[in-house]
Structures are given as C-alpha cells and as structure tokens.
Amino acid sequence: MKKAFHFFFFMTSFFILIFTSCSSVKKRTWNDEVIIDKKYCDFAERADSYLNEAGFQGAVLVGRGDKVVFAKGYGFCDEKAAAPELVPIGINSTFEAGSITKQMTAAAVMQLVEKKKLAVDDKVSKFFPDFEAGDKITIEMLLNMRSGLTDHINSADEFFPKNIYRHIELNQMACKPVDENLVLTYLNEAPLLAEPDSTYFYCNTNYYLLACIIEQVSGMPYSEYIRKNIFSRCGMNHSNLEFQNTDTRGYDYKSRYYSIPSSLAIGCGDVNSNVTDLFKWNVLFTSGKVVKKKTFQKMVDSESYGYGVYCHDDSIFHTGITNVFNSYDGYYFDDKLSIIVLCNCPVAKINATSVARNLYKLYGDNNN
C-alpha cells in the first residue's frame, strides 16, 4: 500500500511539474493523464488549443523516436453515463482501432514467412482447396489488396445471400456475434470484382482470409497468435481482440450500428487498443523488432498500399472505421514521428485523419 501511495505521489508530482514548466499550459492535474516533453511546450500548447477548439473527443499521441512529445485524452469514455460515472478519456483508455489491425495481421504473416512456414507467392488454394478462384490469388495479392475479392463487410449485401445478410444485420443491431464460418461458406458465391492482380481494390475479406491462414499455419487461434507474437513482444499490455472490450463507448452506441460482429472482423478490424500501446507498436515495428528490417522494407515498398499499410515516400499510415469509432496511426520516416488519433465517435462528427494531418502541420510549423 505504501509503495502504491509513493507511486501515486510521484506521478502526481510528475504531471504537475511538467505543466508548470510549460508556462503556456496551465491548470493541469494528474487526472488529465497528459504527457508533454518540455522541449515541445509550444507545440503542445498549440495542439491542445486546436483540439479543444475543434471539440475533439478521443485520445492523441505524438511521439518522436521512442519518446512521447505530447499525449492527452479529451471528452468522456461514455458521455451517456450518469454524472457520477462520467470517466474522462485518458491516454490509456482503449478504443476500437478498426483497420489499424491490418498492419499487425500483415506482420504476423511475414513472421511466418521469415520462419519459412509459408511464402507470399503461395496460392490461396493451398489453404482453401474448395475456393474456386484460389488458384489465381496469392498471399501477396491478399496483403496488397489486389485479389479482386468482394468485401464481406463494406459490401455485405453483395457478398452474402439476402437472408444471410439480414441475419447479420439483426445480430449487428443486437450486438451479437455471427457464425465465424459464414465468410468461408459463401466465399465461392461472392463475385470477383476484378481479375486477380489486375488492380488495387480495398477489401476486408483479404485480411479475414490471412487471419485464417495464420491459424492454419501456426496451429493456434488468430487471437492467441497476435497476443503472443505482437502484443506481448511489443509490451502492448492494454490491447485485446475481444468483442466490445473497450474502456470507451461509441457516442452513438445505442444506434443500430454499434459494432461490426467480431467474427466478421477477425484479422481486418478486431484490435482494441490505446494511443500508448500503438506508439509502442510503431516504435518496434519500424525498427526491426517485430519483423526483420529487410522484411519491413518489403512490407512498405509500394507507391500505394503495401502489406497492411498505405505507403508514401516519407510515411506509412492506416486509418480505421468501425461505425462509431474512427482512428489514425501514422509514421513519418524523416523525423521518426508517430501521430496516433483514436476517436469514440463517427467519422462524420470528428475525422481522425483530418485531426492527425492538422497535428502534423502544427508540428512542422513548430520546427521550422
């Protein structure tokens, strides 16, 4: 108990010290769970002012190298809670990360490639022999979104027969899971939208299938593989892959579209995390600690979509949208800069990508 008190006192003093050392950032307490690097007080003030004026709700983190520059939570974990139960969002509050999941799935696949348990040019038919188009599609086409498959989430009404689609809708409204084998059951019936490897087409089904392949090759459930080989390796102690297991609730959580059934989001959007865990991921993923540096370079060697990430000359990123959560995780190579934004509200209300871009501009202005 005495140790716990000492830690509490230390953390309280730490946060007060940080803010009093920044003359422009005033009246903060330890409850805010804010981190500011004193070298970046001016940026922190401008970022905080921007986020408050924008009515931002969620959590942000800006980090350079392995050091946090600025991190803070805004708003409440559940604004519909009774007043005594209103809990402010902190930097350790968890959110649905959505498609940020895909870079972790891709890294898991490449770990198995490094162990020579599979190859990126393996045909999908090797793992799904009953899938008629499997001989035309490789693992690499799944990774870089060039399979031509129909999306079982964004185009569910085209992927599934009408009666099955209605069943999924009803379960979604009731926040209930659906049969995890539905995607594989109807894979042959869904039309190909393009000839495999002919064009880029963003598709969640690619990463659902990759998760299934990870299970086949590793001999363990996808969730267990990710926990052991991604979360544990990166020290992501707050992250999980459990349906609706987040500290925050989406601000429209009582609407019919609260969450995508977790059994449909496996591998493509089922990670729940926070800004601090995702920062740990960025640092280790980009430094060759999750996969080898040579493997990482292969993953990001693209002018559009690499293996689980969007690629530009100077950065990689991914966004995530799960109906009432939206997110952004970006890494800029030149400055070794991470910008992570997690929101527990629909993208129509607050766009995490726009927030991240504005933070990047503020950071650039501060360092020019």
The overall average pLDDT reported for the chain is 88
First-last CA distance in the chain: 48
Task: Quickly state the pLDDT bin for 17 (edges 50, 70, 90).
Answer: very low
d(CA 23, CA 49): 14
- Could you tell me if 354 and 298 are in contact, meaning their C-beta atoms sit under 8 angstroms apart? no
Look up the pTM and report it: 0.89
Section 140-154 average pLDDT: 97
Question: Could you give the dihedral angle defined by the CA atoms of residues 269, 286, 239 and 268, in that order, rounded to the nearest 10 degrees?
Answer: 10
Section 194-222 average pLDDT: 98
Q: Can you list the domains of the chain with their CATH numbers?
A: 95-366 (3.40.710.10)
Q: Which residue has the higher pLDDT, 252 or 118?
A: 118
Residues 168-183: pLDDT tens digits? 877 766 666 677 788 9
pLDDT at position 15 is 37
Section 35-59 average pLDDT: 94
Section 134-145 average pLDDT: 99
Task: Quickly state the pLDDT bin for 260 (edges 50, 70, 90).
Answer: low
Q: Which residue has the higher pLDDT, 117 or 251?
A: 117
Section 188-210 average pLDDT: 97
Task: Quickly state the pLDDT bin for 166 (edges 50, 70, 90).
Answer: confident
Q: Which residue has the higher pLDDT, 20 or 105?
A: 105
Helix (H, G, I), strand (E, B) or coil at 96: strand
Residue 127 has pLDDT above 80, yes or no: yes
Nearest to 105 by CA among 205, 177, 180: 205
Of the listed ranges 7-11, 39-43, 179-183, the least confidently predicted one is: 7-11
Encoded tokens for 223: 């969730």
d(CA 158, CA 203): 13
Residues 57-66: pLDDT tens digits? 999 999 999 9
pLDDT at position 175 is 64
pLDDT at position 174 is 62
Residue 262 has pLDDT above 60, yes or no: yes
Residue 108 has pLDDT above 70, yes or no: yes
Residues 298-324: pLDDT tens digits? 999 999 999 999 999 899 999 999 888
d(CA 204, CA 14): 43
